[in-house]
């Protein structure tokens, strides 16, 4: 285990990985109170992290001042400029200690720690020894925390056998070993997280420890997967970790003045969200951004002769891109006053993703013909994003094209949407032109009612009537339906349990728009459990949408009902 941790630490970059993702959590788990973490755009005076407390080997309480560097530290890292190790250590001694220490900590002895993910190279060992001998005193001491020592801290404080179940350790090690096999890595990671963050009630201290354990291990798996260029698993497990994190903390009360424990929980949730946003951006930088504007490029990149493979892969990519843009849109709006510069950056990311989505749809025609009925999830995510960003008109042609293509596929017995989920069934679909087979393949549908409702926004009457006629003619016995959360959903959805919720039926296009609209409006009023979900109450609508996409649950009509008119005004505004 220690060797694994050393290799992980050596691979970390300083900014955002070692000094923000790992060390603050590790220090907290070791019993120290973290006072300061790195901030972009502010002067650090040599100190990346400061903490106060007493470690097990300490004879008294110390003020720890950490200078953090990535990888190995050699001659070029020691004295090559103001951000090098030597100048930063002298800045700690000459500036920070003299002017930046709070009054309540000024009487404490100080330990200046040079932290690195790798090793201190032989070429600068003399420099380190000379500096420490020159400045060491009764008040000030120096320690070298290299990768080996940090790995030891992690093993004792986070991953020790008395703190981490043996089965969890095995799953963690297997996940690391299988980063080149996305499905296996995902399953081992999920098993690991389910053990570390169990369903049973935990004390506050144990909950914090377990959330930190899960986060650092997830970060380690992501780092190894990035190094192995296995970006699909990076996206999936960062998303999975976010959902499990929320499940572990969602029942904690929210107060106007949060307690120390609640503030720590919010800080950890922020780290899980950041991990998801960073890892998803890495994924899109490699997979989506360079190729979205080239005709057929992404479809062909699937490297399969089977049309179903390209279709499944493209809709998966579409849903992931829409989900990330929904997150950046939420935070861009929420932080507009608190952090305008960061909010502008997030808004720019949202606009960029909207343009990428349009390019993706225009250049990959397979996205106009969904093969699976649950591709309604991706369609609903895109249109939800369109409503929140006043971009509905940009995506309406695609929505109408899907209605035309799917109904025409039924008419010609081509690859029409089916409720089958097994890959072999999808590969053979349609296996027959008989009505009996069609009734089985389309025994129920959430896609057709969704498309029919959105056809009312700007589609020509001929298209609406033709769509309704084709559906009635070819799948007269299909149960057209919509899904709503119930009282059990908040307890079950975050971990992937799909046996919950309310199914509203009788939404056949043959009934006409007025009847379907009345039925959906009534169901939305009656099925109000969605508004009692913890994520919805706290304004984290993207979290629920992420869970729906991750576990393949239909998006409820509460979040996909179209505008009241042809304007881009949303019927509901869950962000408020």
Residues 259-297: tens digit of each pLDDT: 888 888 998 999 999 999 999 999 999 999 999 999 999
The pLDDT of residue 575: 34
3-state secondary structure of 429: coil
Kindly state the tokens that stand for 417: 């949407």
The pLDDT of residue 163: 64
Distance (Å, rounded) from C-alpha 505 to C-alpha 491? Answer: 24
Distance (Å, rounded) from C-alpha 404 to C-alpha 562? Answer: 18
Which residue from 265, 280, 272, 266 is spatially nearest to 241, judged by alpha carbons? 272
> What Rg, from alpha-carbon coordinates, does the chain have?
27
3-state secondary structure 402-415: HHHHHHHHHHHCCC
The CATH architecture of the domain made up of 1-157 is: 3-Layer(aba) Sandwich (3.40)
pLDDT at 576 over 50: no
How confident is the prediction for the chain on average, in pLDDT?
Answer: 91
Kindly state the tokens that stand for 548: 């729906």
Q: What is the per-residue pLDDT across 206-218, written as a single tens digit (0 to 9) for each?
A: 999 899 989 999 9
Q: Global pTM?
A: 0.87
Phi-psi region of 139 (alpha: psi -120 to 50; beta: other; left: phi over 0): alpha
When pLDDT is cut at 50, 70 and 90, the band that residue 572 belongs to is very low
Q: What is the per-residue pLDDT across 229-264, written as a single tens digit (0 to 9) for each?
A: 999 999 999 999 999 999 999 998 877 788 888 888
Q: What is the per-residue pLDDT across 28-61, written as a single tens digit (0 to 9) for each?
A: 888 899 999 887 767 788 899 999 999 988 889 9
347 in Cβ contact with 332 (< 8 Å): yes
3-state secondary structure of 317: helix
Phi-psi region of 294 (alpha: psi -120 to 50; beta: other; left: phi over 0): beta
Task: Give Cβ neighbours of residue 405 (< 8 Å, ≥ 6 apart).
Answer: 368, 369
Distance (Å, rounded) from C-alpha 77 to C-alpha 88? Answer: 11
The pLDDT of residue 567: 44
232 in Cβ contact with 283 (< 8 Å): yes
| 315-324, 337-346, 461-470: range with lowest mean pLDDT | 337-346
Which residue from 245, 376, 242, 268 is spatially nearest to 322, judged by alpha carbons? 376
> Structural domain boundaries of the chain?
1-157, 174-287, 368-559
Q: What is the per-residue pLDDT across 366-415, written as a single tens digit (0 to 9) for each?
A: 999 999 999 999 999 999 999 999 999 999 999 999 999 999 999 999 99
Which residue from 371, 399, 367, 374 is spatially nearest to 386, judged by alpha carbons? 399
Please, what is the angle between helix 231-249 and helix 541-551, to 10°?
120
Which residue from 351, 330, 331, 353 is spatially nearest to 342, judged by alpha carbons? 331
When pLDDT is cut at 50, 70 and 90, the band that residue 573 belongs to is very low
The pLDDT of residue 25: 87
């Amino acid at each position: 285990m220690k060797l694994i941790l050393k290799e992980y630490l050596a691979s970390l970059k300083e900014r955002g990985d070692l000094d923000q993702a790992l060390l603050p959590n590790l220090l907290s788990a070791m019993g120290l109170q973290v006072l300061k973490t790195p901030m972009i755009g502010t002067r650090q005076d040599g100190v990346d992290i400061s903490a106060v407390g007493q470690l097990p080997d300490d004879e008294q309480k110390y003020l720890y001042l950490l200078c953090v560097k990535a990888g190995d530290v050699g001659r070029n890292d020691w004295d090559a400029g103001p951000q090098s190790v030597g100048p930063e250590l002298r800045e700690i001694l000459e500036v920070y200690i003299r002017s930046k220490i709070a009054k309540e900590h000024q009487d404490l002895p100080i330990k200046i720690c040079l932290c690195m993910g790798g090793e201190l190279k032989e070429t600068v060992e003399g420099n380190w020894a000379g500096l420490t001998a020159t400045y060491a005193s009764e008040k000030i001491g120096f320690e070298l925390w290299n990768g080996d020592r940090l790995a030891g801290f992690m093993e004792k404080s986070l991953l020790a056998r008395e703190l981490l179940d043996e089965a969890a350790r095995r799953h963690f090690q297997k996940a690391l070993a299988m980063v080149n096999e996305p499905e296996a890595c995902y399953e081992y990671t999920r098993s690991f997280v389910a053990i570390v963050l169990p369903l049973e009630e935990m004390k506050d201290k144990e909950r914090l420890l377990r959330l930190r354990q899960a986060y650092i291990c997830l970060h380690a798996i992501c780092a190894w997967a990035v190094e192995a260029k296995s970006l699909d698993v990076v996206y999936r497990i960062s998303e999975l970790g976010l959902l499990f994190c929320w499940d572990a903390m969602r029942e904690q009360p929210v107060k106007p003045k949060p307690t120390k424990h609640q503030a720590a929980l919010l800080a950890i949730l922020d780290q899980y969200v950041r991990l998801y946003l960073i890892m998803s951006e890495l994924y899109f930088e490699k997979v989506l951004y360079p190729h979205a504007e080239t005709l057929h490029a992404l479809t062909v990149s699937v490297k399969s002769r089977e049309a179903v493979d390209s279709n499944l892969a493209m809709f998966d990519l579409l849903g992931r891109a829409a989900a990330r843009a929904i997150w950046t849109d939420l935070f861009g709006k929420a932080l507009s006053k608190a952090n305008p510069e960061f909010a502008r950056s997030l808004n720019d990311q949202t606009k960029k993703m909207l343009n990428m989505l349009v390019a993706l749809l225009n250049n990959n025609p397979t996205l106009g013909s969904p093969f699976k009925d649950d591709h309604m999830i991706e369609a609903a995510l895109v249109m939800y994003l369109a409503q929140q960003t006043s971009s509905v008109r940009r995506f309406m042609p695609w929505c109408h094209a899907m209605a035309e293509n799917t109904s025409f596929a039924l008419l010609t017995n081509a690859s029409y949407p089916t409720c089958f989920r097994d890959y072999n069934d999808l590969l053979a679909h349609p296996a027959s032109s008989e009505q009996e087979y069609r009734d089985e393949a389309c025994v129920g549908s959430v896609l057709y009612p969704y498309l029919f409702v959105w056809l009312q926004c700007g589609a020509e009457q001929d298209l609406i009537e033709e769509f309704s006629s084709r559906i009635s003619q070819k799948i007269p016995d299909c149960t057209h339906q919509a899904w709503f959360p119930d009282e059990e959903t908040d307890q079950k959805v975050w971990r992937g349990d799909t046996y919950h919720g309310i199914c509203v039926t009788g939404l056949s296009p043959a009934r006409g728009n007025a009847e379907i609209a009345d039925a959906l409006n009534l169901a939305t009023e009656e099925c109000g459990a969605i508004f009692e979900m913890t994520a919805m109450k706290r304004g984290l609508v993207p979290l629920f949408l992420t869970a729906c996409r991750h576990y393949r649950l239909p998006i409820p009509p509460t979040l996909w009902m179209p505008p009241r008119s042809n304007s881009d005004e949303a019927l509901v505004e869950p962000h408020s």
